[in-house]
Structure 1
Amino acid sequence: MDAHVNGSLVPVPDSPATSAAAHLRDGLGLTGTKVACGTGVCGACTVLVDGSPTVSCLLPADRLAGRTVTTVEGLGGEHPVQRAFAAHDGLQCGFCTPGFVVEASVFVDTWRAEHGDTRPGREEIADALAGHLCRCGAYEGIFAAVAAACEGGFDTEPDRDPPRVDALDKVTGRARYSGDQAPPGTWEGVVVRSVLPHARVRAVRTADPATPLIDLLPPDRTVRYVGQAIAAVAAPTPEQARAAAAAVTVDYDPRPAVAEVDAARAPGAPLVHPTRAERADA
């Protein structure tokens, strides 16, 4: 089975066990497609599938067969959105930038086809990019970049360099991060996270004693929110690592928890952290 990826015909796996994001990154070396949340929430892994923005971390790689895929590398650095993001500093660390750029490229092209070189409102831009998160908080630059690209201000190369020397690498997917480096023999790590909002962890056990396990709990062995890191496991492949993490058993001693501010402030509310006096006596 083959797919057209950035203009080239390439094979794709015939099994749904591999995600499209993993195949693009590990199989084809297109590391501009970033995986952050891995649950389709943050938008960092967005690619175009038959022209439609798609979160590739949730899409099985075998679903790419016979389809046309464009990653951030496939935009070539020539799209007005890429120039605008660089010029308006619509990025900081740049990890989420490829996903923003891919999604914004479709919005800009569609907007200009329907409205000409006019500036969209903030609401229209926010709605188009609602599935994307920038943990650095570069949203003002992102809004400005998308609006300027819609107006046609970046159809040609700007006459001055962007404020960040690495901006062009980040908007084109050329920038390399630690997660993009995988020398031969590198193992995959997966974090086991709390399923309870407040509990003391009595024990953490792996199904296979040979599985490497790193304890990530604080000294008091207490978790204080759903998703807090408990431990990390590692294995030679992502599939094996995920299976090892799923097989980890956590022995919880549940503690009371509240989820609303007023309830947390009420007399007798359960304490999440030790009091100041308790910390002083410790």
Structure 2
Amino acid sequence: MTSTTINGRPLVLPDDPDALLIDVIREGGLTGTKLVCGSGVCGACTVLLDGAPVVSCLLPAQAAAGKSLTTIEGVGAAGLHPVQKAFMAHDALQCGFCTPGFVVEATAFHDSWRATKGTATPSREEIAAALSGHLCRCGAYEGIFRAVAEACSGRFDGIEPIAPRLEARDKVTGLARYTVDIHQDGQLEGVILRAHVAHARITGLDLAPARAIAGVAAVVPLLDDDNMVRFVGAPIAAVAARDRRTAL
């Protein structure tokens, strides 16, 4: 049995070598860490492992054994971090779904910057390089750049921010709840199998093995009558199961 500490509390890790850190975090009720791309390219699932930013959607849970794990809920747990204050004040967010990942990464950048360069203001290029692994689909980049620059310069040390959005505090602390964060008793999770090629005819689709897996409630084909897929990402079949891992 292996364990880690998450936001200062002990956590026993699953023995399953295929278990991902993102699933362990979210299944434990810390839903501020978001699963978006699942490919390590958008940064929404970023957490700190021994103080270093990592994408938890690609990291095996066992990689956290014996280490200290910090999620967005643990950032500024004793009081808002300057980065969180700056994000609130500069409206460096919109829907807020990607915000926890940005804040976690920016916090690590801020702390490293302040330790080595004091209250000097980082350039736009330096901030962009630090946040290059993150995507904001709402396009709040201007506010994000300003927030990180002013947090690093000490502008938000020891002050309470005035935020234009009422929900800003929840979004920068990971407390904002979205549809994917809500689970009801008996709820199933769905996954769609999609085409990896731009044009093809599906010559056979055997759904029986998927239906035989424990925890799978339903499997249905999504192909048109001609069994053709005409673009990358075209739906082929859908699975509903007791949890995401089983559905996958």
Please confirm whether the aligned pair reaches a TM-score higher than 0.5, indicating the same fold. Answer: yes
Shift of 1:200: 5.7
- The change in CA–CA distance for 1:159 and 1:61 in structure 2 (over 3 A counts) is closer
Q: Which of these residues, 233, 238, 248, is aligned with residue 232 of structure 1? A: 238
In the TM superposition, residue 234 of structure 1 has moved relative to its aligned partner by: 1.2
- Residues 17-45 of structure 1, C-alpha deviations (whole Å, 9 max, x = no match): 2111101110x211111100111111111
User: 1:172: which partner in 2?
Assistant: 173
> Which consecutive unaligned segments of at least 5 residues does structure 2 have?
212-216
Distance change in 2, residues 1:228/1:9 (3 Å): same
Q: Which SS does the other structure have where 1:189 is aligned? A: strand
Q: CA separation of 1:204/1:92 partners in 2, compared to 1, >3 Å: closer, same or farther?
A: farther
How far apart are the structure 2 equivalents of 1:200 and 1:48? 44
Contact 2:192 2:236 in 1 (8 A): yes
Q: Output the CA distance in 1 between the equivalents of 2:63 and 2:24.
A: 11
User: What is the alpha-carbon distance in structure 2 between the residues aligned to residue 98 and residue 189 of structure 1?
Assistant: 24
Q: 2:218 aligns with which of 205, 208, 212?
A: 212
TM-score (norm 1): 0.78
Q: Which residue of 1 aligns with 2:103?
A: 101
Unmatched runs of 5 consecutive residues or more in structure 1: 243-282
Q: How many Å apart are 1:198 and its aligned residue?
A: 3.0
Partner-residue secondary structure (3-state), 2:87: helix
Paired letter, 1:48 = L
Question: What is the Cα deviation at residue 208 of structure 1?
Answer: 4.0
Instruction: Report how far residue 15 of structure 1 moved.
Output: 2.1
Percent identity of equivalent pairs: 55
- Separation in 1 of the partners of 2:243 and 2:23? 11
1:89-168 matches, within 5 Å, as 89-158=91-160, 160=162, 162-168=163-169
Comparing 5-14 with 223-232, greater Cα deviation is found at 223-232
The residue aligned with 1:41 is 41
Assess if the C-alpha contact under 8 Å between 2:88 and 2:161 holds in 1.
Answer: no
Of residues 52-61 and 6-15 in structure 1, the stretch that sits farther from structure 2 once superposed is 6-15
- Say whether the 8 Å CA contact 2:121–2:150 is kept in structure 1: yes
Q: Which has the higher contact order (CA 8 A, sep 6+)?
A: 2
Question: Which has more radius of gyration?
Answer: 1
Where does residue 10 of structure 2 map in the other structure? 9
> Would the alpha carbon gap of residues 85 and 223 (structure 1) be closer, same or farther in structure 2, given more than 3 Å must change?
farther
State the aligned residue count.
Answer: 240
